[in-house]
Amino acid sequence: MQFKPTSGHILLPPVWGFGIPRPMNTKEETNKTITEALSDWIRGVFSEQFGADIDLSGVGVVQAANPQFGDYQCNAAMSLAKVLKRPPRAVSEQVVANAPSHPAVDRLEIAGPGFINIYLSDAWLLQTVSAIDQDSQLGVPRSGAGHTVVVDYSSPNVAKPMHIGHIRSTIIGNSIDRLHRLLGYNVIADNHIGDWGTQFGIIMMGYRHFLDKDALARRPVEELERVYVKSYEKSREDENWLTQCREELVKLQSGDPENTALWREFIGLSLSEFDRIYKRLGVSFDLVRGESFYNDKLADTVALLEEKGMAEESEGATVVFLEEEKLPVCIVKKSDGGFNYATTDIATVASRVEEFRPDKIVYVTDERQQLHFKQFFTICRKLGCETELNHVWFGLMRLPEATFSTRQGNVIKLEALLDEAEQRAFDIVSASSPEMSEDDQREVARAVGIGAVKYADLSQNPQTTVTFTWDKALALDGNSGPYLQYAYARIASVHDKYTERFPDGNLDAFDIVLTEPIERELALKLIRFPDVVKRAASGYKPSTIADYLYELAQCYSSFYQNVPFLKAEEGIRESRVKLCGITAQVLRGGLQLLGIETPARI
């Protein structure tokens, strides 16, 4: 793990890192994506023709809506027509007539009201698509180099098993993490686990009175949850019990050795279970800092707020009013003297800013926390925090019947989901690949099952409510993870067959040529990958990657099914096999961004 070295400022503001100026980014961007390069180019023409004093920031190119309109298109003439006081077609004509040549551009055409349709040069397309083969970045620029981003995701609670409600934060957060790493960001993935809070008094009482030691040995976290639920229920009807829970909590908070030891045990048991699941999901963190990590900073955080005149007493609690921002009041210290999550989150931001100097901090949680994040982001800004704070929220996971909840007991445990996924995949693999050894079948089924679960979640816009159904989460055909893995495995097979049948074949001796329309379409899709990655990262939407990969795989499948390659003549054959290889790389790289594995055989 590398952290950006702290700057040599001696006169750092003393308190919590707030107010520290953001470090300058000294690295310049090295390369651009296709749309960035073409946009810069055509914006330059607009600027030269129509003067730099008008706002040209919106001038750019986009992928063409339809192949008949070229490969990329520029729609700027229409929107600028009014400002320029000229008909849009005249604007486009002037741009096209005066555009300097660009290596990527074969020709420009004007269509409709003033669209400029851009046709890419085949030579450039071939060169660009061939270059992907040698590039571990697959053409993706490291435009985030020199920037640090903290991604806060997953964040399960101690003493509660992970259920299907946790999968979204974990999977989406992990993909955002991977996207930023590919773009060159220094990413710090932090699992901010819920290891502190009022629930521990309840758990301790439950642990002391209801514990089944055998069950604890077998399924520790499940047992902890069971005693928690039982103790919680008792606390609601038994005033005396509730008081005892509070006393246990106070003892823990004041450092009582026995309760502290118990608390550490709960954390240890939970973390080992989380790790088991993270390992299955291929998720790893740079930091696992629970809320308790910030405990000793909470009092000072509230003191700072009071010092700045932002916090005041109200109804026995210490609160921050946010009326100017039209937000509800935010409690930073409870009337019983305890702190709550807003305080912890503020202290966490301060700590991260001080330690890592991030350019931004990204939180991945469900939609119910939107108000909380608005409140505490606002407070951080008022305290002088300049770091960009983003809340990436996603819709709740629901069951067809109702919202699932721990209390109603209608939860689906994450491990059960993963088990079921692997089993279903195994049934299919063992039926369709009986020649494979059972170990291999298991291994493939694992990758396919987990891939299906992940893809089902990542392939849709995060900001929608997901209704969980087994069939959807475990879909193995159509727009699914396994479809993409299948496409990949077929490609791997093509390459094997090629070396088998043409042992003397030399792929390097031949250049790629595009003879069929489907081949050009495939090449065009392949060179779009960098743009897609940038869009997915900036919008925090892994589904953008999933959409793209599905399109790519569909395009490839069509190519595969309709164009002969091993049976094609020499030259064409090698070209097509190479195109297959590049497609495989992009598929694999893209699936990696989603955390999905690509077995060579399925």
Q: Which of residues 581-600 bind RNA (CB under 7 A)?
A: 600
Amino acid at 56: L
Q: Least distance from C-beta 426 to RNA, angstroms? A: 9
Does 78 contact RNA by CB under 7 A? Answer: yes
85 phi, psi to nearest 5 deg: 55, 40
Does 328 contact RNA by CB under 7 A? Answer: yes
Q: Which of residues 116-135 bind RNA (CB under 7 A)?
A: 117
Angle between helices 239-253 and 257-281 (to 10 degrees): 90
- Pick from 475, 522, 524, 533 the residue near RNA by CB under 7 A: 475
- Pick from 19, 338, 384, 505 the residue near RNA by CB under 7 A: 338
- Pick from 84, 250, 329, 399 the residue near RNA by CB under 7 A: 329
Residues 6+ apart with CB under 8 A from 538: none
Return the structure tokens found at 545: 């990657």
Does 210 contact RNA by CB under 7 A? Answer: no
Q: Which of residues 143-162 bind RNA (CB under 7 A)?
A: 157
Which one, of 461, 459, 458, 491, lies nearest residue 588 by Cα? 491
- Pick from 151, 346, 489, 591 the residue near RNA by CB under 7 A: 489
Contact call for residues 520 and 126 (beta carbons, < 8 A): no
Does 96 contact RNA by CB under 7 A? Answer: no
Q: Least distance from C-beta 329 to RNA, angstroms? A: 5
Q: Least distance from C-beta 475 to RNA, angstroms? A: 6
- Pick from 33, 73, 259, 348 the residue near RNA by CB under 7 A: 73
| CA separation, residue 206 to residues 230, 263, 512, 585 (Å) | 7, 13, 68, 53
Cα end-to-end distance, the chain, whole Å: 34
Beta bridge mates, 312: 319
Which residue number, 20 or 584, has a Cβ lying nearer to RNA? 584
Q: Quick one: CA dihedral 174, 179, 180, 184, positive or negative?
A: positive
Segment interacting with RNA (CB under 7 A) among 22-30, 171-179, 414-422, 561-569 = 561-569
Q: Which of residues 222-281 bind RNA (CB under 7 A)?
A: none
Which residue number, 101 or 562, has a Cβ lying nearer to RNA? 562
| CA separation, residue 391 to residues 52, 216, 470, 542, 546 (Å) | 36, 36, 29, 15, 22
Q: In what order do the strands lie in the sheet with 148-152?
A: 186-190, 148-152, 360-366, 388-394
Beta bridge mates, 115: 111
Which residue number, 20 or 116, has a Cβ lying nearer to RNA? 116
Does 515 contact RNA by CB under 7 A? Answer: no
**How many residues make contact with RNA (CB under 7 A)?**
101
Segment interacting with RNA (CB under 7 A) among 46-54, 166-174, 394-402, 503-511 = 394-402
Which one, of 566, 547, 559, lies nearest residue 584 by Cα? 559
Q: Least distance from C-beta 403 to RNA, angstroms? A: 4
- Pick from 2, 26, 57, 68 the residue near RNA by CB under 7 A: 68
Which residue number, 448 or 582, has a Cβ lying nearer to RNA? 448
